[in-house]
Amino acid sequence: MSHFAQVKNNIVVNVIKCEKDIIDSGILGDPKEWIQTSYNTRNNIHYGQDGKPDGGIALRGNFAGIGSIYDSENDVFYLAKPFPSHILDKNLWGWREPIDLPFDKLLPNDLPENSSDRFWNEELLTFQIIIDSLDFSSPKIIYTWNVETQNWDKN
């Protein structure tokens, strides 16, 4: 059995698992609306049953989900754009932030143990990390990525 995405106006409206002959029969509507997708493909990489890349064919960039975009020109599925500033990476068929963090500075060096992951702040157009203080009398600790200095500023 295979997975198929029903696409209307380049948006995925349904995803099912069935045999291709059922799609071809027209019982589920116009067969041209149904496009095969691979449950094992994400970020343009095929993954095996163990969850690791296996060198298989990455079918259509990503597994289609309801609300995903189908780009018929490139024959790929990808998620809707999360923020206006994000850029479509056509190698991975996924969205990325408009700035890159150097690998050695993905997180601040003095990050406490009770920290959370970084997130994108669209208003500031940069990354931030917010840490809840264990001391209720002190405010949250905020780290903001400074694009000019290429360092984390502790606010």
For residues 147 and 152, give the distance between their C-alpha atoms in angstroms, rounded to a whole number: 9
User: SS3 of 103, please?
Assistant: helix
20 vs 30: CA distance, rounded Å: 13
pTM over 0.85: no
Q: How confident is the model at residue 46 (pLDDT cuts 50, 70, 90)?
A: very high
What is the spatial distance between Cα 63 and Cα 78, in angstroms, rounded to a whole number? 8
Phi and psi of 103, rounded to 5°? -55, -40
Spatial distance between the Cα atoms of 111 and 127, rounded to a whole number of angstroms: 14
When mean pLDDT is compared over 2-11, 99-108, 112-121, 132-141, the highest value belongs to: 2-11
